[in-house]
A and B are shown apart, each in its own frame.
Chain A
Amino acid sequence: MTATRTVDRRIGRILMVGGLVSIALMLAGLLIYAAHGHPQAREIVRVIHNREAGRAVDVFTSLGDVRRALAQRPPDPLAVTALGLVCLLVTPVLGVAAAVVGFLRVGDRDYALIAGVVLAMLLASFALAAGG
């Protein structure tokens, strides 16, 4: 039971850190955006209500989009928020990766394998999404 608790805590820590880092980035982005007088906010809210009204320029669809917007001087605050969202989306995957390592460390090969197969399927689904 102690070995299981060690793995539990390791995964729990990853999920908590992932959540906190995501919140910090998202909040920072939103606050900087608000401090800049939230340019075009009304327009953005209109698009959130009806996507057909126009493609939102502030929606990021790839990591490259986010990186480019962060590289601007000054960086796009909504890109900081988007980076927080990306951190949140990959947190469960990191949790499963932590499970693989954790079970290997406590010598539980069965569950290291099970977690490894789940991780492989998740990565395959990412690859399929990127290809599709």
Chain B
Amino acid sequence: MSPLAFVAAIFATSVLAGGAGALLGLGGGILLIPVLTLVFGVDLHYAMGASIVSVIATSSGAAAAYLKTSLSNVRIGLFLALATVAGALVGAALAGVVPTRLLQLLLGVALAYSTVATLRQIRIELPEPTEADPLALRFGLEGVYYDAVLDRDVKYRAMRVAQGFAAMLGAGLLSGLLGIGSGAFKVLAMDHFMRLPMKVSTATSNFMIGITSAASAGIYFARGDIHPLLAAPVAIGVLVGAAAGTRLMARLRNTTIRKAFLPILGWLAVSMILRGLGLWLP
């Protein structure tokens, strides 16, 4: 493949990854790393460097639009970022001390359970309001957005905040320990524990993943894993794709987004279990 064709193909792939990431609240690493390494034969280090760039690009590209339409909730995002960033710092410090494979296996099993739990609520467009959570009231973890599909304002308030916060702490810890992004876990914690509308969950996750990834981006840069000729087409493609993804999100139902999220969750569960058992390495 000629250098120009290589850059063009990487750009096109990144537009798709950015679009999917913006819709599903993921950084795109889960989609991008396998494609870059398996299809384009990119060295794993550079693929991971490009992936961290893609997470921040998705976040900046999507969150700018989601903040304008109030789909991203800054208060919920920052409140939970306390847990993920602290968890990531502790996780990075513990890396090499804690048995990684056992962790991956436990995480895989937890994700498999979450996949089944998400499957059960697949048809729920908006969660039923229940008794107000005192922490949600204290910290104003609520909001309102205009839902173009339902053609009305949707008001929501976070539920089971303590569980959500604990799950985020765990997500941050694992991302620090295992060097994985944790967009999927953030969406899961907001959708499953805190019962936020799915669109708010993925849009707020988009805002948060940029913050969590910025913490480790410096390490990748200093290591020389961010190659400009690979990372730049990825970043530009992802920014363009993420901006397009935000336009699509407005036209989709919460249930549609959850259905698209489910295979990603299942794939993560299987890959974590296989890694935990030592059957798969990438």
Residues of A within 8 A of B (CB): 1, 4-5, 7-9, 11-13, 15-16, 18-19, 22-23, 26-27, 29-30, 33-34, 38, 41-42, 44-45, 47-52, 55-56, 58-62, 78, 81-82, 84-86, 88-93, 95-96, 99, 110-111, 114-115, 117-118, 121-122, 124-126, 128-130, 132
Contacts and interface: CB of A to CB of B under 8 A. Distances in A.
B239 A19 contact: yes
B82 A88 contact: no
Contacts of B60: 15-16, 18-19, 22, 88, 91-92, 95
Interface stretch (B102-110, B115-123, B224-232): B224-232
Interface of B: 1, 3-4, 6-7, 41-43, 45-46, 53, 56-57, 59-61, 63-65, 67-68, 70, 72, 74-75, 78-79, 81-82, 85-86, 88-89, 92, 139, 143-144, 210-211, 213-219, 221-224, 226-233, 235-236, 239
B211 A129 contact: no
A34 B4 contact: yes
A125 B228 contact: no
The 8 lowest CB-CB distance pairs between A and B, nearest first, are: A12-B67, A92-B210, A41-B3, A16-B64, A129-B218, A125-B215, A15-B64, A26-B232
B229 A58 contact: yes
B64 A92 contact: no
Contacts of B218: 89, 125-126, 129-130
A43 to B, nearest CB: 9
B3 A45 contact: yes
B77 to A, nearest CB: 9
B14 to A, nearest CB: 12
A131 to B, nearest CB: 10
Given A12-B65, A44-B3, A118-B211, 4 more contacts: A56-B224, A85-B228, A89-B56, A125-B216
B166 to A, nearest CB: 17
B221 A89 contact: yes
Given A23-B239, A114-B82, A121-B86, A61 B221 contact: yes
